[in-house]
């Protein structure tokens, strides 16, 4: 398990690794994915290190709401809100999580496949 000192997202939060930051406040930071899977692929992460969604308790419910609200605003800013977009949070290795720091993907700008519901 990666510790916070080795966490690439913690290093982005601290400014040690540059990224294309498009939003930040005291709780979260949003930046463009360096390996985009869609024309719009933005990551929204908490500044505080949570390894995955499983670490979130009822105390962090407002943080999760803030992350989703921000993703919705970014979808409007990126002009994909009317055509549609996807929000994804992968949890754990078998859930497809590659970086062990909680993050939300905002994906859009083209027709997405793999409908879930």
The catalytic residue positions are 103
Residue 32, strand partner residues: 42
Q: What phi and psi, each to the nearest 5 degrees, are found at residue 91?
A: -125, 110
Write the DSSP assignment of 10-50 as a string of letters.
HHHHHTSS---EEEE-SSEEEEE-SS-SSSEEEEEEESS--
């Amino acid at each position: 398990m990666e510790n916070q000192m080795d966490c690439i997202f913690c290093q982005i939060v601290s400014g040690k690794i540059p990224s294309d930051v498009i939003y930040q406040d005291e709780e979260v930071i949003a930046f463009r994915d360096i390996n985009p899977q869609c024309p719009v692929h933005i990551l929204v992460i908490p500044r505080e290190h949570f390894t995955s969604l499983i670490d979130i308790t009822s105390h962090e419910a407002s943080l999760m709401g803030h992350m989703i609200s921000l993703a919705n605003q970014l979808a409007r800013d990126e002009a994909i809100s009317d055509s549609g977009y996807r929000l994804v949070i992968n949890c754990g290795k078998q859930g497809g999580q590659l970086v062990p720091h909680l993050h939300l993907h905002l994906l859009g700008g083209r027709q997405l496949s793999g409908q879930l519901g």
